[in-house]
Amino acid sequence: MAALRAAKQALRKEIKRRVSALSAEEKRRQSVVVSQQLFRHPKYVSCERIAVFLSMDDEVRTEEIIKDVFKRGKSCFIPRYESSSSHMDMLKLNSLQDMETLPLTSWNIQQPAEDDTSREEALASGGLDLILMPGLGFDRLGKRLGRGKGFYDTYLERCIRHPKGKPYTIALAFKEQLCQEIPVDDNDVLIDEILYEDDE
């Protein structure tokens, strides 16, 4: 276990270094390419209930995706992370205006406040069809390197127990986040598909 943790830590550092070398312009450009891939994706087109992360500076931008989700009349859910644990809920976002009023966390991510109990949690109702996954690194086999908190792995386990079953998972990545192979253990849930700008 210690060796795996050390390997993950080293890889996190390396990927962070690669991504931080990207200009804001390049991150925007790749985000547009990845978003366009998503908008044509049959799983995206057909989904009704989708969970989208609100992007941090080192992640593919999701603002345009969220706009598109509302434009197409889908139900949009966003994460609320509990900083003291690895618990995360996916709470309903009612509109783009709703998003603008969300408070900022200490990680500089917008999310519904802890005492905001009026929002529907995805699994308390109809479950999810699709989850867009953030992460630091990915390989082509669907292995994902998170930030080490386990939010998404824990949440996917809850999804699997929901009557609807596990939603399809698509990761959005800069090509600099792709790795030869990500070291994983048994708790790490594999991702169904990774979208990135493929030059090949």
Annotated binding site for ATP: 8-12, 144-152
3-state secondary structure the chain: CHHHHHHHHHHHHHHHHHHHCCCHHHHHHHHHHHHHHHHHCHHHHHCCEEECCCCCCCCCCCHHHHHHHHHCCCEEEEEEECCCCCCEEEEEECCHHHHHCCCECCCCCECCCCCCCCCCEHHHCCCCCEEEECCCEECCCCCEECCCCCHHHHHHHHHHHCCCCCCEEEEECCHHHECCCCCCCCCCCCCCEEECCCCC
Pick out the residues of the known binding site for substrate: 54, 59
Pick out the residues of the known binding site: 8-12, 54, 59, 144-152
